[in-house]
Homo-oligomer: A and B are copies of this chain.
Amino acid sequence: MNCLELLKAKNLKATPQRMSILKALSKHEHPNIDELYEQIKEEYPAISLATVYKNLGTMIDEGLVIELALPNSKSKYDIYEYEHIHLVCNKCNSVYDLDYDKAYINDYQKKLQNNISFKISNIKMTVFLEECSNCK
């Protein structure tokens, strides 16, 4: 995960704050903004929450980061590396990544595309869990 290259490729300045945000997200812990802010502060105590908001915004716009919107909980954030399924715990809202057989969804997407008139961009699958090891 070369954060510097990622930013360069999108013509975004590689400020230490941005690097730190990307580094934190690359752990795939799916922090919400407050958790992310706290984590960055450990390295850059002076960073402002506004900077985190602004950077998430621009990096989402550039496709480097994805926002995981969840019912009844603040959005969580993830660095974008490749498509994957998210497992979301209904009890504690923890999120886990899951690699999967893309063929299955690709297949479904094709089937679906034949039945609707608008162009499908992508399909997102979210698996909700009754509980998980974090909340049990």
Question: A53 within 8 Å of B by Cβ?
Answer: no
A70's partner among B69, B104, B125 (CB-CB below 8 A) is B69
Q: How far is the CB of A30 from chain B (nearest CB, A)?
A: 14
Evaluate contact between A87 and B116: CB separation under 8 angstroms. Answer: yes
Evaluate contact between B129 and A121: CB separation under 8 angstroms. Answer: yes
Complex interface: chain B residues within 8 A of A71 (CB): 60, 66-69, 75
**Size bracket of the A interface:** 35 or more
Q: How far is the CB of A111 from chain B (nearest CB, A)?
A: 8
Question: A132 within 8 Å of B by Cβ?
Answer: yes
Residue positions of A touching B, CB distance < 8 A: 60, 66-72, 75, 87, 89-90, 98, 100, 104, 108-109, 112, 116, 118-133
Distance, CA A67 to CA B98, complexed state (A): 24
Q: What 9 A-B pairs have minimum CB-CB distances, sorted nearest first?
A: A69-B69, A67-B71, A119-B130, A121-B128, A118-B129, A121-B130, A69-B71, A124-B126, A118-B132
A113 to chain B: closest residue by CB: B127
A119's partner among B120, B126, B129 (CB-CB below 8 A) is B129
Q: How far is the CB of A43 from chain B (nearest CB, A)?
A: 27
Evaluate contact between A123 and B126: CB separation under 8 angstroms. Answer: yes
A108's partner among B69, B104, B112 (CB-CB below 8 A) is B104
Evaluate contact between A131 and B119: CB separation under 8 angstroms. Answer: yes
